[in-house]
Amino acid sequence: MWKGRFKKNASEGLIAYGESVSFDWRLYGQDIRGSIAHAGALLTKGILKREEFDEIARALQEIEGEIERGEFQFKEELEDVHMNIEYALTARIGAAGAKLHTARSRNDQVALDTRLYCLEAIEALDGAMGVLQRALLDQAEENLVVVVPGYTHLQRGQPVLYGHHLLAYVEMLGRDRDRLRNVRERVDVMPLGSGALAGSTICLDREQIAAELGFSRVSQNSMDAVSDRDYVAEILFSLGLLGVHLSRLGEDLVLWCSSEFSFIRLSDAHTTGSSLMPQKKNPDIAELARGKSGRLIGNLVSLLVTLKGLPMTYNRDLQEDKEPLFDSIDTAMDSLFVMAEMVAEIEVLSDAMAEAASDEFLLATDIADYLVMKGVPFRESHEVVGRLTAFSLKEGQAFSSIPIGKLKEFSQAFEADIEEVLSLSGALRARKGTGAPSPTNVMEQIARWRGLLGGEE
């Protein structure tokens, strides 16, 4: 493609080192869509005749079909998907194909293809996150009355409903979806027409191309348009944070299905065995979700390091955006679907959860709140309950078995109605503030999310 300037062919080492078709081939559909739209603008400008445009469109569609069927031979020496398709087009139809690259550069061509790819990927990822959200909602709704200890520092803290715990991840995924939808606004910019860096003296109707490809607006600075990869970095950040959320969910599931917790049982279909220990049932999906979060975070860092020292405008370093982008999208999609499958088949061991949640120390804060409502300052009530806890541990007496007379030795504010506070069901019903885990609140939140997600199924 640049043989007019060079007297020697590229070395085999340069070709092997610089090729990207081994991974950017997946942009073929976007490249062909963009090329047909570009050809349409060339037709409007009078550079292509109608029969030439028809010939180009027909041949490109044939090439697309061959790629989809696995019949197309990509050539490494042609470097990338764009040149492979253009070379095949020109070989088939001759001069008309050679006109296609008029008023465009590979710089704005690859920027266009990548943006089109990202727009489609965002839609697919958004749908996959919705699938996992619905699986979590189903679990929450099927186990409405199940209580589980809530933890801080991995120590039992306060009782919550199992569904409330799962709804926390539904909220996280909701923010993940919002982030990607927000990024979509900045992906939705049509860069074609920016040329290599300064546009072209052949001015095509960029708005026409944008409308045909479904973009809402066109780029306003040609230098920025060909070198901008902010949107790729934003997608990688969004997927990195999604990976962190999936890792946290995976960690909870790993803990809960362990013998030490025994809160849930994972399906045989979503666990593996040991090559040595026949009794083992390993939560590999949940563990891999933790591990793959490292890849997602690493891909973001890789791109940011690539971008940080680049001068304007296009530099070949930008070729290094594709593999992190493709890998993060693939990894996130795979993780979301397999996690949704696993969550959907979780068996809740409600008796074990109930036994753990029956620990009266989980109600220590409720006792402190009780004293506050009796007029005791919170810091004083906190100290009272701390001393009461130490006494309970020393004597091996649960809060509920300590006589009222003994309780009054810790604070005269204690009265017989303390028994109501030591009821687990009562404690949960009392947590009725917005966002708290009362049964009524959890049911309302499930209904709210059902409404938000209902139109997606």
pLDDT per residue as tens digits for the range 232-286: 999 999 999 999 999 999 999 999 999 999 999 999 999 999 899 988 999 999 9
If you average pLDDT over residues 4-28, what whole number do you get?
87
What pLDDT, on the 0 to 100 scale, is given for residue 437?
A: 96
Query: In 3-state terms, what secondary structure has residue 152?
Result: strand
What pLDDT, on the 0 to 100 scale, is given for residue 9?
A: 80
Stronger pLDDT, 159 or 3, i.e. the higher one: 159
Rounded CA-CA distance 337/305 in Å is 30
Residue 457 binned pLDDT confidence (cut-offs 50, 70, 90): low
Percent of the chain's residues with pLDDT above 90: 94
Rounded CA-CA distance 376/369 in Å is 9
Rounded CA-CA distance 198/215 in Å is 21
CATH class held by domain 107-135+158-197+216-354: mainly alpha
Q: What is the mean pLDDT of the chain?
A: 96
pTM, to two decimals: 0.94
Residue 142 has pLDDT above 80, yes or no: yes
pLDDT per residue as tens digits for the range 396-442: 999 999 999 999 999 999 999 999 899 999 999 999 999 999 999 99
pLDDT per residue as tens digits for the range 74-125: 999 999 999 999 999 999 999 999 999 999 999 999 999 999 999 999 999 9
Show the CA angle centred on residue 194, arms to residues 196 and 316, nearest 5°. Answer: 35
Is 12-102's fold the same as 356-456's? no
pLDDT per residue as tens digits for the range 324-353: 999 999 999 999 999 999 999 999 999 999
Q: Are 337 and 128 in contact (CB under 8 A)?
A: yes
Give the CATH superfamily of 12-102.
Fumarase/aspartase (N-terminal domain) (1.10.275.10)
What pLDDT, on the 0 to 100 scale, is given for residue 11?
A: 86
The CATH code that applies to domain 356-456 is: 1.10.40.30
Residue 455 has pLDDT above 90, yes or no: no
What pLDDT, on the 0 to 100 scale, is given for residue 249?
A: 98
Residue 2 has pLDDT above 60, yes or no: no
Listed by start position, the domains of the chain span: 12-102, 107-135+158-197+216-354, 356-456
Q: Report the catalytic residues.
A: 153, 274
Q: Are 55 and 107 in contact (CB under 8 A)?
A: no
Specify the DSSP element, H or E, that contains 158.
Answer: strand 155-161
pLDDT per residue as tens digits for the range 365-393: 999 999 999 999 999 999 999 999 999 99
